[in-house]
A and B are shown apart, each in its own frame.
Chain A
């Protein structure tokens, strides 16, 4: 649900919606108490329905400010959980960089259980994410890439948005396990990211089992 007091403009609009809402109830009540009650119920149900219908997960794409680095630098934001060390991903990063210097920010979301999330018990999740991140960065730097990393929010979409504010990438890469083994694919993370973020997005499927063989 969108916060009606998100900005002054939204709050001002909310004032008028409140006036309209109560004006109809008062008019109904002047006719009859039960008419007023009926108007109240109908209005409330209609608003609840409208809010539910509107809240389909689609929001206006986040506007991307120009990349912060030098012109000959290609900045790539990589969001991956366990798959960031895969050969496919390293290949895609090199391919995307072309002739430019590549600068990679790896974000490792601190994946947590809902219960632990709600009780703010994030220490284990962040430690595990840090360990994955260290291994990933080691692999990337070993492959000659200019890479840095940070731990992100447990929600990968939120983690991307947070990282975009500080890193300002030219491109976004989401790395997942293959379909059937990827929770992110199941929950539509890639599609949501395409809708939300106004910058080129590449989805890389990394099959770690195949890589090991």
Chain B
């Protein structure tokens, strides 16, 4: 075999060389969440800028006539926090080999997430103001809507996880799909807590 033949013997890309103590899929989810934090961070920056600037002008936040539905959003917060519990239950269950627990946990998480999203949509209709009313309204809908979009993505992921769980996928040894989806769902929960406290309470 000539040197040229030997050089062409290997086809395709070189062997993978990665050096990390985190598995590539978890690292990918971590980097994705890091980019999400930056996205939410830009929205929060706009919100706080608007709040600082306009609070100094009229002394009221939110602007007069605009009411933040803190109570309903508080109930929604409880719903989402509960869904983190059920998600954790699902993940713990499959680690112990409890398939029924995994299925029940995922179904409950999905239902709670859907309840959260529907409640938020209904609340949007009852708010009494729209995106173009004030800068507060724009940032309010921007932040809560951005989070709502993430809940929708989370529900889509949960749907896939649930279908897979009922089709017999996942085991105590192989449950990466549940782990990754769970991390995302908890992230969505954390972001809502930040949104709820800053936009509705403070």
- Seen from chain A, the residues whose Cβ lies within 8 Å of a Cβ on chain B are 3, 5-9, 11-12, 14-15, 18-19, 22, 25-26, 29, 36, 152-153, 155, 158-159, 161-162
Tell me what chain B mostly uses at the interface: helix, strand, loop, or mixed: helix
Cβ 8 A contact of B183, one of A8, A18, A29, A152: A8
CB distance B187 to A5 under 8 Å? yes
Q: Which residues of B contact A14 (CB under 8 A)?
A: 186, 190
CA distance A161 to B21 in the complex (A): 8
Work out how many contacts link A and B, with CB atoms closer than 8 A. Answer: 67
Residue of B nearest to A122 (CB): B17
Check if B29 is an interface residue, CB within 8 A of chain A. Answer: yes
Known: A5-B29, A6-B22, A29-B202. A15 touches B197 (CB 8 A): no
Could you give, for residues 69-109 of chain B, a 1 whenever the CB lies within 8 Å of some chain A CB and a 0 otherwise?
00000000000010010011001000000000000000000
Known: A19-B81, A25-B197, A161-B21. A9 touches B91 (CB 8 A): yes
CB distance A15 to B179 under 8 Å? no
CA distance A88 to B187 in the complex (A): 53
CB distance B179 to A22 under 8 Å? no
CA distance A12 to B87 in the complex (A): 9
CB distance A8 to B88 under 8 Å? yes
Give the size of the chain B interface in residues (CB under 8 angstroms).
25
Q: Which residues of A contact B187 (CB under 8 A)?
A: 5, 11
CB distance A7 to B26 under 8 Å? yes
Check if B141 is an interface residue, CB within 8 A of chain A. Answer: no
Known: A15-B189, A19-B193, A22-B197. A8 touches B182 (CB 8 A): yes
CB distance A26 to B197 under 8 Å? yes
CA distance A3 to B26 in the complex (A): 11
Check if B194 is an interface residue, CB within 8 A of chain A. Answer: yes
Cβ 8 A contact of B186, one of A15, A26, A158: A15
Distance from A128 Cβ to chain B, minimum over Cβ atoms (Å): 16
Cβ 8 A contact of B202, one of A5, A15, A26, A161: A26
Q: Which residues of B contact A25 (CB under 8 A)?
A: 197, 202
Interface residues of B in 157-202 (CB under 8 A from A): 178-179, 182-183, 186-187, 189-190, 193-194, 197, 201-202
Could you give, for residues 19-47 of chain B, a 1 whenever the CB lies within 8 Å of some chain A CB and a 0 otherwise?
10110001001100100000000000000
CB distance B26 to A15 under 8 Å? no
CB distance B193 to A8 under 8 Å? no
Known: A12-B84, A12-B182. A6 touches B197 (CB 8 A): no
CA distance A152 to B182 in the complex (A): 33
Distance from B193 Cβ to chain A, minimum over Cβ atoms (Å): 5
- Most central of B84, B186, B193, B194 by chain A CB within 10 Å: B186
CA distance A127 to B166 in the complex (A): 51
CB distance A8 to B186 under 8 Å? yes
Residue of B nearest to A17 (CB): B190
